[in-house]
Amino acid sequence: MNTIKIIFLIIVTTLGLNYNGFSQSKIDGIGIFKIDKTTISVIDSLVNQGYQLKTCNDMLGCSSYKITGMTIAEKIGNKMKPETNFPLIPENRIFAIGEYNVAGIEITNLELRFYKDTLYQIKSVVGDLELQTALQEKYEETVEVDKKEILCSSVYGEFKEEEVRYLIKYRDDQKIHAMSSFSTSFDDKCKKKTFSFTAITNPKTDELVKLNTDEILKTFLAEEQLQKKIKLDSL
């Protein structure tokens, strides 16, 4: 991962300098995966190329530690025990790819979300600094920087640290939102952490899926509260 290069690109962009000699104005996907164009049949194509397809139905089984290499896992939601980031409506299907190589870049844990068999979101969720660097070189972008000063405590006393989040936008229109995020933060023991991800999304479809999913979650939570009330009433 070329951490120095991506930080340099962020600084250059923040200062408004032109580093994008090869920039293109519109991003619509990564490699063979294109928003609103790629269909779910691409999963069969990958299996034919040697990927192994399986299913997972919980956070542990679907974690990046479990889905590695040439493995594709379809996330299966459970309406009786719904979890965040799992599909709860039949039109929504989510696949995680352990490893995908494009333009010499190895992307780990690439997530594909489909609605009615058409791709509406691509998300890279584990250490994608090399991908971010390539996207900044290829596409025009804007950078937003959010900084926050925090107070840390240790056996040596209190000291100040700065948490920073860079939001890099490649496209932001009615058809596609494409962005990357790179952030540094500190845990409760003041240990420094870094986190990065990239997402390319059809915002209209994403909102529709979220609304339909929220309705199912509301119904589940209401039923759960009702059952608790019935149990308490029997005391």
Q: What confidence tens digit (pLDDT) does each residue in 133-185 have?
A: 999 999 988 999 999 999 988 777 888 999 999 999 999 999 999 999 999 99
Task: Give the Cα-Cα-Cα angle 69, 1, 32 (nearest 5 degrees).
Answer: 50
List all residues 6 or more positions away from 202 whose beta carbon is below 8 Å from its beta carbon: 35, 36, 120, 121, 175, 176
What residue ranges do the domains of the chain occupy? 3-14+30-205
Nearest to 168 by CA among 147, 193, 196: 196
For the chain, give the mean pLDDT.
Answer: 86
Residue-level pLDDT at 4: 44
Interior CA angle at 207 toward 29 and 198, to 5°? 35
Contact, 75 vs 81, CB < 8 A?
no
> Which stretch of 146-150, 205-209, 218-222 has the lowest confidence by average pLDDT?
218-222
Q: Per mean pLDDT, which range of 57-71, 171-185, 201-215 is the poorest?
A: 57-71
Q: How far apart are CA 215 and CA 66, in angstroms?
A: 30
List the beta strands (DSSP E) in the chain: 29-30, 33-34, 52-56, 71-75, 92-102, 105-115, 118-124, 142-154, 157-172, 177-186, 192-201
Predicted TM-score (pTM) of the model is: 0.83
What the block records as the tokens of 92 is 């929504």
List the 177-186 sheet strands across, edge first.
52-56, 71-75, 92-102, 105-115, 118-124, 192-201, 177-186, 157-172, 142-154
pLDDT over 60 (residue 106): yes
How is residue 24 annotated by DSSP? B
pLDDT digits (tens, 9 = 90+) for 34-57: 999 999 999 999 999 999 999 998
